[in-house]
Structure 1
Amino acid sequence: MSAQVLAQSVDDVRVDGLVQMPSERAFDLIGFEQGQHYDSGNVYQAINSLFNSGYFSDVDVYEDNNLVIFNVVERPSIGLLTIEGNDLISTEDLERGLKLSGLEQGEIYKPETLNQIEQELQRQYYGLGRYSAKVKIETEDMPRNRIAIKLNIDEGDTAKIVHINIVGNTHFDDEALTKNFESRETGYWNPFSSADEYAKAKIDGDINKLKSFYLDKGYLDFGVVSSQVSLSANKKEVYVVINVEEGEPYFINKVALSGSLPISEDRIWKHIDQKTGDAFSRSQVTEIMENISTELGDSGYLFTDVNVIPNKHDNHTVDLSYQIAPGPKVYVRRIIFSGNSETQDEVLRREMTQFEGALATHSDIQASKRRLERLGFFGSVDLRTRPVPGTTDQVDLDVVVVEQASGSIQASVGYSQEDGTVLGFGISKRNFLGTGNKLSFNASRSDSSEDYSISYDNPYFTVDGVSRGVKAFYQTSNHDDDDVEDYDLDRIGVGVSYGYPISDTQRLSFGVTVKETTVNLGYDPSNETSGYVDEYGDSYDDLITTLTWSDSDLIGGVLPTNGYSTTASLEVATPAGDQQYAKLGLSSQRYWNISNSNLWLFRLKTRLGYGTGYGDSDQLPFFENYFAGGSYSVRGFESSSLGPQNSYDDDDTDTSAIGGNILITGTAELIFPLPMVEDHKSVRTALFLDAGNVFTDSCLADNDNCEEGVDLGEIRYSIGLSWTWITPIAPLSFNFARPINDEDGDSTDFFQFQLGTTF
Structure 2
Amino acid sequence: MILPACREVYVKVFVAVLLACCSVYSFAKTVADVRIDGLVQMSATRAFDTIGFKQGSGYDSSNVYDAVNSLFSTGYFSDIDVYEEDDVVIFKVVERPSIGQLTIEGNDMISKDDLQRGLKLSGLEVGEIYKPETLNQIEQELQRQYYSLGRYSAKVDIEVEELPRSRVAIRINIEEGVTAKIVHINIVGNKAFDTEELTKNFASAETGYFNPFSSADEYSKQKVQGDLEVLRSFYLDRGYLDYQLISNQVSVSSDKRDVYVVVNIEEGQPYYINDVALSGSLPITEDLVWQHIDQEQGDVFSRKQVTDIMEAISTQLGDDGYLFANVNVIPSKLDNHKVDLTYHITPGPKVYVRRINFSGNSETKDEVLRREMTQFEGALATHTKIQSSKRAIERLGFFSKVDLKTRSVPGTTDQVDINVTVEEQPSGSIQASIGYSQSDGTVLGFGVSKRNFLGTGNKLAFNMSRTNQTQNYTLSYDNPYFTVDGVSRGYSLFYQVSDHEQDDVEDYDLDKIGASVSFGYPVSETQRLSFGATVKTTTVDLGSNPSNETSDYLNTYGDSYDDVLANIAWSDSDIIGGVLPTDGYSHRVTLDVATPIGDQSYAKLGVTSQGYWNLTDNKLWLFHLKGRAGYGMGYGDTDRLPFFENYYAGGVYTVRGYRASSLGPKNSYSNGTDTDSIGGNILLAGTAELIFPMPMVEDHRSVRTSIFLDAGNVFTDFCLAGNTTCNEGIDVSEVRYSLGLNWTWITPIAPLSFNLSRALNPKDGDSTDFFQFQLGTTF
Give the TM-score category using the shorter length: over 0.9
CA offsets 1:447-499 (integer angstroms, 9 cap, x no match): 76532211111100100000011111122246899999611111111111100
Asked whether the equivalents of residues 443 and 453 of structure 1 are also in contact (C-alpha less than 8 Å), the reply is yes
2:750 is equivalent to residue 730 of structure 1: yes
2:32 is equivalent to residue 14 of structure 1: no
Report the Cα distance in structure 1 between the residues aligned to 2:704 and 2:27, rounded to whole angstroms: 83
Could you tell me which of 93, 105, 118 is aligned with 1:97? Answer: 118
Q: Tell me the equivalent position of 2:395.
A: 374
Q: Tell me the equivalent position of 1:388.
A: 409
Q: Tell me the equivalent position of 1:201.
A: 222
- Deviation of 1:664 (Å): 0.8
- Deviation of 1:445 (Å): 4.6
Task: Tell me the amino acid that sits aligned with residue 197 of structure 2.
Answer: A
Task: Tell me the amino acid that sits aligned with residue 286 of structure 1.
Answer: T
Asked whether the equivalents of residues 159 and 235 of structure 1 are also in contact (C-alpha less than 8 Å), the reply is yes
Asked whether the equivalents of residues 452 and 458 of structure 2 are also in contact (C-alpha less than 8 Å), the reply is yes
Report the Cα distance in structure 2 between the residues aligned to 1:68 and 1:441, rounded to whole angstroms: 86
User: Which stretch shifts more, 534-543 or 464-473?
Assistant: 534-543
Asked whether the equivalents of residues 501 and 507 of structure 2 are also in contact (C-alpha less than 8 Å), the reply is no
CA spacing shift, 1:108–1:420, aligned 2, 3 Å: closer
CA offsets 1:32-70 (integer angstroms, 9 cap, x no match): 223222333322222222111111111223333233332
Q: Tell me the equivalent position of 1:27.
A: 48
User: Which stretch shifts more, 552-561 or 736-745?
Assistant: 736-745
Could you tell me which of 346, 362, 367 is aligned with 1:346? Answer: 367
> Does the residue aligned with 1:86 lie in a helix, a strand or coil?
coil
Q: Tell me the equivalent position of 2:697.
A: 677
Residues 532-547 of structure 1 aligned to structure 2 (within 5 Å): 532-547=553-568
User: Which stretch shifts more, 685-694 or 65-74?
Assistant: 65-74
Q: Tell me the equivalent position of 1:693.
A: 713
> Does the residue aligned with 2:335 lie in a helix, a strand or coil?
coil
2:180 is equivalent to residue 159 of structure 1: yes
CA spacing shift, 1:352–1:109, aligned 2, 3 Å: same
2:315 is equivalent to residue 294 of structure 1: yes
Could you tell me which of 164, 177, 181 is aligned with 2:202? Answer: 181
2:589 is equivalent to residue 568 of structure 1: yes
- Deviation of 1:557 (Å): 1.1
Residues 577-616 of structure 1 aligned to structure 2 (within 5 Å): 577-616=598-637
User: Which stretch shifts more, 187-196 or 154-163?
Assistant: 187-196
TM-score between both structures, scaled by the size of structure 2: 0.94
2:688 is equivalent to residue 668 of structure 1: yes
Query: What RMSD over aligned residues (CA atoms) do the two structures have, in Å?
Result: 2.2
2:88 is equivalent to residue 52 of structure 1: no
CA spacing shift, 1:45–1:296, aligned 2, 3 Å: same
> Does the residue aligned with 1:70 lie in a helix, a strand or coil?
strand
2:346 is equivalent to residue 325 of structure 1: yes
CA offsets 1:426-446 (integer angstroms, 9 cap, x no match): 122211121111111112356
Q: Tell me the equivalent position of 2:737.
A: 717
Q: Tell me the equivalent position of 1:466.
A: 487
Report the Cα distance in structure 1 between the residues aligned to 2:386 and 2:285, rounded to whole angstroms: 23
- Deviation of 1:375 (Å): 0.9
Task: Tell me the amino acid that sits aligned with residue 282 of structure 2.
Answer: L
Asked whether the equivalents of residues 470 and 497 of structure 2 are also in contact (C-alpha less than 8 Å), the reply is yes
Asked whether the equivalents of residues 301 and 361 of structure 1 are also in contact (C-alpha less than 8 Å), the reply is yes
Could you tell me which of 677, 691, 698 is aligned with 1:657? Answer: 677
Report the Cα distance in structure 2 between the residues aligned to 1:479 and 1:639, rounded to whole angstroms: 13
Report the Cα distance in structure 2 between the residues aligned to 1:748 and 1:417, rounded to whole angstroms: 7
Asked whether the equivalents of residues 85 and 154 of structure 1 are also in contact (C-alpha less than 8 Å), the reply is yes
Q: Tell me the equivalent position of 2:11.
A: none
> Does the residue aligned with 2:417 lie in a helix, a strand or coil?
strand
CA spacing shift, 1:695–1:513, aligned 2, 3 Å: same
CA spacing shift, 1:732–1:420, aligned 2, 3 Å: closer
- Deviation of 1:758 (Å): 6.8
Q: Tell me the equivalent position of 2:766.
A: 746
> Does the residue aligned with 2:454 lie in a helix, a strand or coil?
helix
Report the Cα distance in structure 2 between the residues aligned to 1:484 and 1:112, rounded to whole angstroms: 79
Report the Cα distance in structure 1 between the residues aligned to 2:31 and 2:455, rounded to whole angstroms: 73
Asked whether the equivalents of residues 481 and 522 of structure 1 are also in contact (C-alpha less than 8 Å), the reply is no
User: Which stretch shifts more, 279-288 or 730-739?
Assistant: 730-739
Q: Tell me the equivalent position of 1:73.
A: 94
Q: Tell me the equivalent position of 2:513.
A: 492
- Deviation of 1:185 (Å): 1.4
User: Which stretch shifts more, 56-65 or 475-484?
Assistant: 475-484
- Deviation of 1:358 (Å): 0.5
Report the Cα distance in structure 1 between the residues aligned to 2:443 and 2:764, rounded to whole angstroms: 30
Report the Cα distance in structure 1 between the residues aligned to 2:613 and 2:467, rounded to whole angstroms: 42
Asked whether the equivalents of residues 16 and 69 of structure 1 are also in contact (C-alpha less than 8 Å), the reply is yes
- Deviation of 1:73 (Å): 1.3
Residues 277-316 of structure 1 aligned to structure 2 (within 5 Å): 277-316=298-337
CA offsets 1:673-706 (integer angstroms, 9 cap, x no match): 2222222212222222211111111111111221
Q: Tell me the equivalent position of 1:213.
A: 234
Report the Cα distance in structure 1 between the residues aligned to 2:219 and 2:446, rounded to whole angstroms: 50
Asked whether the equivalents of residues 744 and 778 of structure 2 are also in contact (C-alpha less than 8 Å), the reply is no
Asked whether the equivalents of residues 321 and 351 of structure 2 are also in contact (C-alpha less than 8 Å), the reply is yes
Q: Tell me the equivalent position of 1:708.
A: 728
Which runs of 5 or more residues in structure 1 are unaligned? none
Report the Cα distance in structure 2 between the residues aligned to 1:485 and 1:367, rounded to whole angstroms: 50
Asked whether the equivalents of residues 484 and 524 of structure 1 are also in contact (C-alpha less than 8 Å), the reply is no
> Does the residue aligned with 1:430 lie in a helix, a strand or coil?
strand
Q: Tell me the equivalent position of 1:627.
A: 648
% same residue: 72
2:448 is equivalent to residue 427 of structure 1: yes
> Does the residue aligned with 2:146 lie in a helix, a strand or coil?
helix
CA spacing shift, 1:539–1:418, aligned 2, 3 Å: farther
Task: Tell me the amino acid that sits aligned with residue 606 of structure 1.
Answer: G
User: Which stretch shifts more, 24-33 or 138-147?
Assistant: 24-33
Residues 116-135 of structure 1 aligned to structure 2 (within 5 Å): 116-135=137-156
> Does the residue aligned with 1:531 lie in a helix, a strand or coil?
helix
2:245 is equivalent to residue 224 of structure 1: yes
CA spacing shift, 1:302–1:627, aligned 2, 3 Å: same
Report the Cα distance in structure 1 between the residues aligned to 2:132 and 2:286, rounded to whole angstroms: 68
CA spacing shift, 1:422–1:316, aligned 2, 3 Å: closer
CA spacing shift, 1:356–1:480, aligned 2, 3 Å: closer
Q: Tell me the equivalent position of 1:150.
A: 171
Asked whether the equivalents of residues 452 and 459 of structure 2 are also in contact (C-alpha less than 8 Å), the reply is yes
User: Which stretch shifts more, 11-20 or 275-284?
Assistant: 11-20
Task: Tell me the amino acid that sits aligned with residue 604 of structure 1.
Answer: L
Task: Tell me the amino acid that sits aligned with residue 84 of structure 1.
Answer: E
CA spacing shift, 1:151–1:421, aligned 2, 3 Å: closer
Aligned length: 758
